[in-house]
């Protein structure tokens, strides 16, 4: 069997080059489980509704289950000339049970069939994506908890800015990933729509039961417009967009791990299991996992932009351009899932150098804002306090001194408001002072972690 039986009005066979060009089986074979699940539900409905005999439906279902086993055992060879997974399964079904297998396609089209398969795939992918996001969130929480007392420089413009708890910094990535979780959950709402029964574009002239099929396949809603149902790929675009945002977050985390693991920073050591060696320099331990995540982020962006471009000029309803929905989607799912998996392991095994982080906090001017706040507490307007501390820092830097080496008389050269208690301003005191909701004070960070643990447990 080939697709030539579909070319009744044609006088010429499909050119072999064209057949290879239009075939999607090299990549859409991945949808075999979803395709067979949809076909089993459809066959049950056809039998229940009396559209085909119940004995025919039973034979079709048994044949489909057998085909699924053949595929999983690697015993079924897919044929390019059959174009796609749908025709490969149908052809094998007819081989196994005879012409009755051809009745499976009653009351459906490849247009609504592929829309169904892809929606089932995306629903499953979303569930797995959320699971992996939560695993990485748990790893971040565990690492934050294990290093809850570590103080490090917080940065703006990649310049040391103010002291923060390392746990607070890591929780920022937890929040990013939590938004990703919510985005994928929201994407699921619009993915969870059952399109089968839309036919090629106009619906079907059979007494089908769409509610039955939706229930069989675990869909919560049914598409309301057959033209839209076969041509809608918004759910694919939404997954690609949510995945792009998630990869951006992972890329940012990867970039910081790359920086922090350099000798110049030295805040962390990435476990050897997640690093690689240099081919020529024996001393090197390269953070290739984190670097690759940065590179793969651009690849995922490309899939989003590519499919948006493919969709932008399509008239209703189905067009073969929609075949371009799968390769980029499959690669995006694989890329995001593998990146989440390796980042979870990398974060869990990273070793924090608390001493080096502490040296970076103590050896500069990170307490300058605290000094300005100190003067404000003494009654000085903040802008005047800012100017005074700016001059103090400029003078200290010119003399090669950091704030930890200044004495009371050094402070009083710039303002009589400085008294001996100014020497009590330390990194630990600075962190503790910021006890506002969302702040870096230890009790606030502990509260953040408790809320985060609840969020991870929330299904």
Displacement of CA 127 from its chain's centroid (Å): 11
d(C-alpha 350, C-alpha 352), whole Å: 6
Q: Of residues 55, 220, 273, 278, which has the active-site annotation?
A: 278
Total residue length of the chain: 459
Lookup: tokens for 332: 């995006």
Q: Is the pLDDT of residue 1 over 70?
A: no
Q: Of residues 5, 157, 279, 407, which has the active-site annotation?
A: 157
Is residue 157 annotated as part of the catalytic site, yes or no?
A: yes
Q: Is the pLDDT of residue 4 over 70?
A: no
Question: What is the 8-class DSSP label of residue 315?
Answer: P
- Host H or E run for residue 24: none
Is residue 278 annotated as part of the catalytic site, yes or no?
A: yes
For β-strands 151-156 and 351-352, DSSP reports them as unpaired
d(C-alpha 298, C-alpha 54), whole Å: 51
pLDDT at 6: 56
pLDDT bin (cut points 50, 70, 90) of residue 324 is very high
pLDDT at 404: 85
For the chain, the helix, strand and coil percentages under 3-state DSSP, each to the nearest 5? 70, 5, 25
Number of alpha carbons in the 13 Å side-chain half-sphere of residue 97: 21
Structural domains of the chain sorted by starting position, each given as residue range(s) with its CATH number in brackets: 3-106 (1.10.275.10), 111-150+166-252+286-348 (1.20.200.10), 364-457 (1.10.40.30)
pLDDT at 363: 82
Mean pLDDT of 357-374: 93
For β-strands 159-165 and 151-156, DSSP reports them as antiparallel
Helices (H), 73-109: 85-97
**Whole-number Cα distances in Å, 108 to 142, 145, 235:** 50, 54, 21
What are φ and ψ of residue 147, in 5° steps?
A: -125, 35
d(C-alpha 184, C-alpha 122), whole Å: 10
Q: Are 23 and 80 in contact (CB under 8 A)?
A: yes
- pTM for the complete prediction? 0.93
């Amino acid at each position: 069997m080939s697709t030539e039986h579909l070319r009744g009005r044609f006088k010429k066979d499909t050119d072999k080059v064209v057949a290879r060009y239009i075939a999607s089986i090299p990549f859409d074979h991945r949808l075999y489980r979803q395709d067979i699940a949809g076909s089993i539900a459809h066959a049950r409905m056809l039998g229940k509704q009396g559209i085909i005999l119940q004995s025919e439906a039973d034979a079709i279902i048994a044949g489909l289950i057998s085909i699924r086993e053949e595929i999983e055992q690697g015993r079924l060879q897919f044929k390019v000339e059959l174009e796609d997974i749908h025709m490969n399964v149908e052809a094998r079904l007819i081989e196994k049970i005879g012409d009755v297998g051809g009745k499976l396609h009653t009351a459906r089209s490849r247009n609504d069939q592929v829309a169904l398969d892809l929606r089932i795939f995306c629903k499953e992918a979303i569930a797995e994506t959320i699971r992996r996001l939560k695993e990485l969130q748990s790893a971040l929480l565990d690492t934050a908890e294990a290093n809850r007392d570590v103080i490090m420089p917080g940065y703006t413009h990649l310049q040391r800015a103010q002291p923060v708890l390392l746990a607070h910094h890591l929780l920022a990535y937890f929040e990013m990933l939590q938004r990703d979780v919510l985005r994928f959950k929201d994407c699921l709402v619009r993915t969870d729509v059952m399109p089968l029964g839309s036919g090629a574009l106009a619906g079907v002239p059979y007494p089908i039961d769409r509610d039955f099929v939706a229930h069989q396949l675990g869909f919560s809603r049914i598409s309301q417009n057959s033209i839209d149902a076969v041509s809608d790929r918004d759910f694919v675009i939404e997954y690609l967009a949510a995945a792009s945002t998630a990869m951006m977050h992972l890329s940012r985390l990867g970039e910081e791990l790359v920086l922090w693991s350099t000798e110049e920073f030295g805040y962390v050591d990435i476990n050897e299991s997640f690093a690689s060696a240099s081919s020529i320099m024996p001393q090197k331990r390269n953070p290739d996992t984190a670097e690759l995540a940065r590179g793969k982020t651009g690849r995922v962006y490309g899939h989003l932009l590519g499919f948006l471009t493919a969709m932008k000029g399509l008239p209703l309803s189905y067009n073969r351009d929609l075949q371009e929905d799968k390769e980029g989607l499959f690669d995006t799912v694989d890329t995001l899932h593998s990146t989440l998996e390796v980042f979870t392991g990398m974060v869990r095994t990273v070793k924090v150098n608390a001493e080096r982080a502490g040296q970076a906090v103590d050896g500069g001017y990170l307490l300058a804002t605290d000094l300005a706040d100190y003067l404000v507490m003494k009654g000085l307007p903040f802008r005047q306090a800012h100017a005074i501390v700016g001059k103090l820092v400029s003078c200290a830097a010119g003399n090669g001194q950091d704030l930890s080496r200044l004495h009371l008389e050094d402070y009083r050269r710039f303002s009589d408001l400085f008294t001996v208690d100014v020497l009590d301003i330390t990194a630990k005191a600075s962190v503790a002072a910021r006890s506002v909701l969302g702040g870096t004070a230890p009790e606030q960070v502990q509260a953040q972690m408790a809320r985060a643990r609840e969020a991870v447990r929330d299904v």
